[in-house]
Chains A and B, each alone.
Chain A
Amino acid sequence: GAVVSQHPSRVICKSGTSVKIECRSLDFQATTMFWYRQFPKQSLMLMATSNEGSKATYEQGVEKDKFLINHASLTLSTLTVTSAHPEDSSFYICSAGQGLAGGPGTDTQYFGPGTRLTVL
């Protein structure tokens, strides 16, 4: 099956620093990647949709200058949390899709293992 990796899996940083999280599709080309945020015991909240070669589409209420997303290739998207603060501490998960190569409705989003960010 399709594999999506995320790096790092855990990161602890000081307040005010920037943190970059990578999301890679290892064995397929992902035209679209999604970035989610999840607080403890809560659902996944979509932050932004990232299409290769174009600007990310952010969900309402998500600061695009705070959460920079770059999707430079068909296998890599990055999320940079700029000037991180303790309230940015969360679990960040990416997902990637292959598109409709298998026909309508057969594509599936595959999720990375997530990155746990702790801002001190």
Chain B
Amino acid sequence: AQKITQTQPGMFVQEKEAVTLDCTYDTSDPSYGLFWYKQPSSGEMIFLIYQGSYDQQNATEGRYSLNFQKARKSANLVISASQLGDSAMYFCAMREDDRGSTLGRLYFGRGTQLTVWP
């Protein structure tokens, strides 16, 4: 079974509007971390936001917030006030054993291509 599922291959949003990118995950590990990365056409992976499975509050970083619903195993990314520069591919990722002593691998979803139009 896939560990990370992103069901939206593409999303469109008008500038200044908010957009939600969906992500569901599958793990039996009680300790895990969820990440969102942005990949513009240049190819670099830009870290956006992190949510730990034991975190009580949803993570926020500027215009990015993570809507963490543990019971539903979902970790949707919300981008508020979209900008043209937000157009990129967005990947959701998970790391298991988040409190382990070593740096664990990331499992990536297939990505969502976000297009912001003026």
What residues of chain A have their CB less than 8 Å away from a CB belonging to chain B?
31-32, 34, 41-44, 46, 49, 91, 93, 95, 97-100, 104-105, 107-114, 116
Given known A-B contacts A43-B109, A44-B108, A110 and B43 have beta carbons under 8 A apart = no
Q: How many residue pairs, one in A and one in B, have C-beta atoms under 8 Å apart?
A: 61
Question: Chain B residues with Cβ under 8 A from A32's Cβ?
Answer: 102-103
A110 CA to B110 CA, complexed, in Å = 19
How many residues of B are counted as interface, with CB atoms below 8 angstroms from the partner's CB atoms? 26
Whether A46 lies near B37 (C-beta < 8 A) is: no
Expressed in whole angstroms, the minimum distance between the Cβ of B82 and any Cβ of chain A is 22
Tell me the minimal C-beta distance from B90 to chain A in angstroms.
11
Contact A93 B109, beta carbon cutoff 8 Å = no
Given contacts A43-B91, A108-B50, contact A116 B105 (CB under 8 A): no
| In contact, A105 and B47 (Cβ under 8 angstroms) | no
